[in-house]
Amino acid sequence: MSFIIRRAVRGDAETLSRIAMQTFTETFGHLYPDEDLQDFLRTNYSIEGWMRLLCDDASAVWLLEDDGVAVGYAHAGACGLPYPDATKKDGELKRLYLLPQARNGGCGSRLFETALAWLERDGPRTIWISVWSENLGAQRFYARWGFSKAGEYEFPVGRVRDHEFMFRRDAKRA
């Protein structure tokens, strides 16, 4: 296996739509009725949606490829989480997903560090991440980079409401 991380470009919208749907379904698909899952995937991971993000200077997306085949991705941008003190000046890691065969080998850490470096390209800033309350593996993963729970909210997946945690790392940290 030879994993490469590269910044996604407009021509990657279709690939991103596919890998985003695949990784979300592999990770969380079992939690929702199929109708709600399909509604969520259509609304959030369409080719047109990815194209809009890829044209937006305030967002950045990276693909993890194994011999040229997408096996994961990360998306970062301005914070859009419903925390009272969070503003668009803060950064957010919006999505970080790998296919099962690419996990646990350090690729997630490399992708995450790439996104963090981009988010802090102009200097330290507060960074946010939304993570499912029961995704303990990812919470452990984020804690390693100094993120901790700052709040909670409900995240809609079709008609289902997920209990989510908002993790934060402050700009002013030791």
Ligand X SMILES: CC(C)(COP(=O)(O)OP(=O)(O)OC[C@H]1O[C@@H](n2cnc3c(N)ncnc32)[C@H](O)[C@@H]1OP(=O)(O)O)[C@@H](O)C(=O)NCCC(=O)NCCS
Q: Which residues bind ligand X (CB under 6 A)?
A: 27, 96-98, 103-109, 131, 135, 137-138, 140-141
User: Residue 80 or 105: which CB sits closer to ligand X?
Assistant: 105
To the nearest whole angstrom, how small is the minimum distance from the Cβ of residue 113 to ligand X? 9
Residue sitting closest to ligand X (CB) = 108
Residue positions counted in the chain: 174
DSSP three-state, residue 111: helix
Q: Rounded to an integer, what distance in angstroms lies between the CA atom of residue 104 and that of residue 83? A: 31
CB of 141 to ligand X, least distance (A): 4
DSSP string covering 86-138: --TTSEEEEEEEE-GGGTTSSHHHHHHHHHHHHHTTTS---EEEEEETT-HHH
C-beta closer to ligand X: residue 32 or 97: 97
CB of 121 to ligand X, least distance (A): 21
Closest contact distance (angstroms) between CB of 35 and ligand X is 22
Do 51 and 26 touch, CB atoms closer than 8 A? no
Output 46 or 135, the one with its CB closest to ligand X: 135
Q: Which residue has the tokens 């803060």?
A: 90
User: Residue 51 or 145: which CB sits closer to ligand X?
Assistant: 145
Tell the smallest beta-carbon distance from residue 131 to ligand X (Å). Answer: 4
Residue with smaller CB distance to ligand X, 9 or 136: 136
What is the DSSP pairing of strand 148-157 with strand 127-132?
Answer: unpaired
